[in-house]
């Protein structure tokens, strides 16, 4: 059983995290709507704990982390990740999934002490293989949250990421729906990080030049073409990038498939 600990971010926000395992520090950054109790991070941590000291945290506004002592900006979440890395010993490997990967990349651009970075399917639309997402999508979601239409915000997000209508309808009837709507206020934050890179245009020249840590971009062999193309573009955009395709996998992280790749990559270069 793990114990919740707290790191304090630069603006005073308490960030809840838990630690398991032994070895080099590895911090896991969740994607949209996910937290320690909802999503893939705990399963992944359990699969990695024999090789790493794995730190899993609740991003601000989720789980046991505070909502935020100051107004939201992506810089605050970068500071949150930096605080967890500081608690992990001052530097760490980082695994970021989906929009959590986008956050980890922003941290690397800002010289947070990341040894090596692994991303899993950062949501990018960099060509015409998928229609662009609306630039005002974060504002749409924020308006729904402000009007206390949290369910509508979650439905819009699920439709945006390609969830079939019947899946959305069934999810509304499950206990998990209450957990999803409870963190709907964080959706505008995640979308504000990724929507500028979902316009069907190549990644901005030089944007990721500041990512100095070696970066492995993972994608699933069963994922849509636009997603696989985005990860290939990301691997090419960072100065020391590499692409790895996991056969038979999709955007859903399955620790049995992902953990061996993480271990092989990080242990091989330790």
Taking only the tens place, the pLDDT of each residue in 165-224 is 999 999 999 999 999 999 999 999 999 999 999 999 999 999 999 999 999 999 999 999
At 62 the pLDDT is 97
Tell me how far CA of residue 179 lies from CA of 78, 144, 145, 185, in angstroms.
24, 17, 15, 12
Domain end, chosen from 193, 211, 240, is at 193
Residue 268 has pLDDT above 70, yes or no: no
**Structure confidence by residue, pLDDT tens digits, 68-107:** 999 999 999 999 999 999 999 999 999 999 999 999 999 9
Residue 112 has pLDDT above 70, yes or no: yes
pTM exceeds 0.75: yes
User: Residue 191: phi, psi to the nearest 5?
Assistant: -70, -30
Domain end, chosen from 145, 170, 193, is at 193
Q: What tokens were used for 55?
A: 């730190």
Say how far apart CA 202 and CA 127 lie, in whole Å.
7
Same domain? 147 vs 122:
no
Same domain? 206 vs 227:
yes
Confidence of residue 267 (pLDDT cuts 50, 70, 90): confident
Q: 108, 78 in Cβ contact below 8 A?
A: no
Distance of CA 39 to the CA centre of its chain: 11
| Domain assignment present for 19 | yes
| Domain assignment present for 57 | yes
Quote the strand ranges of 83-195, DSSP E.
92-97, 114-120
Residues 5, 82, 93: CA angle, nearest 5 degrees:
90
| Domain assignment present for 256 | yes
| Domain assignment present for 131 | no
Domain end, chosen from 145, 174, 193, is at 193
Closest-CA residue to 38 (of 169, 182, 170):
182
The Cβ of residue 169 has, within 10 Å, a number of other Cβ atoms equal to 11
Confidence of residue 269 (pLDDT cuts 50, 70, 90): low
| Domain assignment present for 132 | no
Say how far apart CA 56 and CA 226 lie, in whole Å.
29
Q: 62, 35 in Cβ contact below 8 A?
A: yes
Q: How many domains does the chain contain in total?
A: 2
DSSP 8-class letter at 199: S
Same domain? 16 vs 63:
yes
The mean pLDDT value for 21-28 works out to 97
Same domain? 112 vs 68:
yes
At 2 the pLDDT is 83
Same domain? 180 vs 146:
yes
Tell me how far CA of residue 211 lies from CA of 29, 44, 109, 216, 253, in angstroms.
17, 24, 5, 12, 24
What are the beta bridge partners of residue 35?
A: 38
Same domain? 159 vs 95:
no
Closest-CA residue to 259 (of 118, 123, 122):
118
The mean pLDDT value for 226-254 works out to 98
Tokens 């608690």 belong to residue: 87
Same domain? 27 vs 119:
yes
| Domain assignment present for 174 | yes
Closest-CA residue to 101 (of 180, 22, 5, 30):
30
Same domain? 214 vs 175:
no
At 1 the pLDDT is 67
Domain residues for the domain of 113 are 5-126+202-268
| Domain assignment present for 231 | yes
At 52 the pLDDT is 97
Residue 134 has pLDDT above 80, yes or no: yes
| Domain assignment present for 146 | yes
């Amino acid at each position: 059983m793990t114990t919740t600990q707290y790191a304090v971010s630069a603006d005073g926000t308490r960030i809840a995290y838990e630690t398991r395992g032994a070895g080099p520090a590895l911090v896991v950054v969740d994607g949209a709507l996910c937290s320690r109790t909802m999503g893939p991070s705990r399963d992944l941590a359990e699969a990695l704990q024999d090789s790493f000291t794995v730190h899993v945290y609740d991003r601000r506004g989720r789980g046991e982390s505070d909502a935020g002592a100051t107004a939201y900006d992506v810089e605050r979440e970068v500071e949150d990740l930096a605080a967890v890395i500081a608690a992990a010993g001052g530097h760490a490997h980082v695994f970021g999934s989906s929009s959590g990967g986008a956050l980890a990349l922003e941290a690397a651009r800002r010289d947070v002490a990341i040894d090596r970075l692994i991303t899993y399917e950062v949501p990018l639309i960099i060509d015409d293989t998928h229609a662009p997402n609306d630039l005002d999508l974060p504002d749409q979601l924020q308006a729904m949250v402000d009007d206390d239409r949290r369910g509508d915000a979650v439905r819009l997000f699920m439709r945006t990421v390609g969830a079939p209508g019947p899946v959305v309808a069934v999810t509304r009837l499950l206990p998990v729906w209450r957990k999803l709507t409870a963190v709907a206020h964080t959706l505008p934050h995640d979308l504000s990080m990724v929507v500028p890179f979902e316009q069907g245009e190549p990644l901005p020249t030089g944007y990721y030049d500041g990512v100095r840590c070696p970066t492995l971009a993972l994608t699933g062999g069963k994922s849509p073409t636009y997603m696989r193309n985005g990860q290939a573009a990301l691997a090419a955009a960072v100065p020391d990038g590499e692409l790895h395709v996991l056969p038979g996998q999709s955007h859903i992280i399955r620790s049995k498939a992902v953990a061996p790749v993480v271990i092989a990559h990080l242990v091989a270069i330790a």
